[in-house]
A = this chain, B = another copy of it.
Amino acid sequence: MIFSSSLIEDAVNEFSRLPGIGKKTAMRLVLHLLKQDAQKVEQFSLVIAKMKKEIKYCAHCHNVSDHEICKICADVTRKKSQICLVETIRDVMAIEATQQYSGLYHVLGGLISPLDGIGPDALNIQTLIQRIEICETEELILAISPTIEGDTTAYYITKKLSHLPVKITTLSRGVAFGGELEYADELTLARSIMGRLPIADIVHGGG
């Protein structure tokens, strides 16, 4: 791409460093911003800078927050006896969007992955154990990906918590609602058959 202005070139380069944005899309975004009012572009720039500067991570659950303690941890109506363990803050948002969970969260910040050099110390595991010890949590729900890294992490955490009376559960896996059987992958389908449930459990919401 040949740029007639180095200012444009720099802006395109910055945008194209973002995930999923190539040079052409970056150019489109830059041209869009060029057409906007100066005030709007300044606001765009300010909001991004401000977010990075002022964002806090909740001292309890490591979720992003505007304050020391996040909205969810500060909410007195939520069940303090349940902690849902997730990998990222996006998972918190996904579970919150279901409106089916009223306990607390704990954001790990990643999964144990020796290949990528991520050990247990790089994650928020120590604070999780302390939280469970101090708050006498009754249930820890492992809502982490069913990958090799996820399984390793789940195994490590389960071992570390074996001396505590906390009940450890995991999300149920199976064929998605609305999904057609023929398009489900073999592993999911196989696990769905192995983990089959009496139909009464589903109908009455038990389990």
Tell which of B21, B54, B70 touches A4, judged by Cβ atoms closer than 8 Å: B70
Q: In this complex, what residue of B is CB-closest to A32?
A: B19
Are B1 and A31 touching (Cβ within 8 A)?
no
Interchain Cβ contacts under 8 Å between A and B, 22 examples: A2-B96, A2-B97, A4-B70, A4-B72, A4-B89, A4-B92, A5-B65, A6-B66, A7-B51, A7-B54, A7-B55, A7-B64, A7-B66, A8-B51, A10-B51, A11-B48, A17-B44, A31-B90, A33-B51, A38-B52, A38-B53, A48-B48
Cβ distance A50 to chain B, nearest Cβ, rounded Å: 7
Task: Count copies of this chain in the complex.
Answer: 2
Are B51's CB and A89's CB within 8 A?
A: no
Q: Which residues on the B side are within 8 Å of A88 (C-beta)?
A: 31
| A58–B2 alpha-carbon span in the complex (Å) | 16
Q: Which residue of B lies closest to A5 (CB)?
A: B64
State whether A52 touches B29 (Cβ < 8 A). Answer: no
For A36, the chain B residues whose CB sits under 8 A away are: 52
Q: Does A168 contact B (CB under 8 A)?
A: no
> A1-29: contact bitstring with B at CB < 8 Å (1 yes, 0 no)?
11111111011001001111100010111
Tell whether A175 is near chain B: CB-to-CB under 8 Å. no
Does A46 belong to the interface (CB within 8 Å)? yes
Q: A19-B32, A33-B52, A34-B52 are in contact. List 8 more A-B contacts (CB 8 A).
A: A5-B55, A6-B66, A7-B66, A8-B51, A10-B47, A19-B28, A38-B53, A48-B48
CA distance in complex: A155, B44 (Å): 40
Would A18 and B29 count as touching, CB distance under 8 A? yes
Contact at B49–A45, with CB atoms within 8 Å?
Answer: yes
* A71 cross-chain contacts in B, Cβ below 8 A: 4
Task: With A14-B48, A33-B48, A45-B46 as known contacts, state yes or no: A55 contacts B8, CB within 8 Å.
Answer: yes
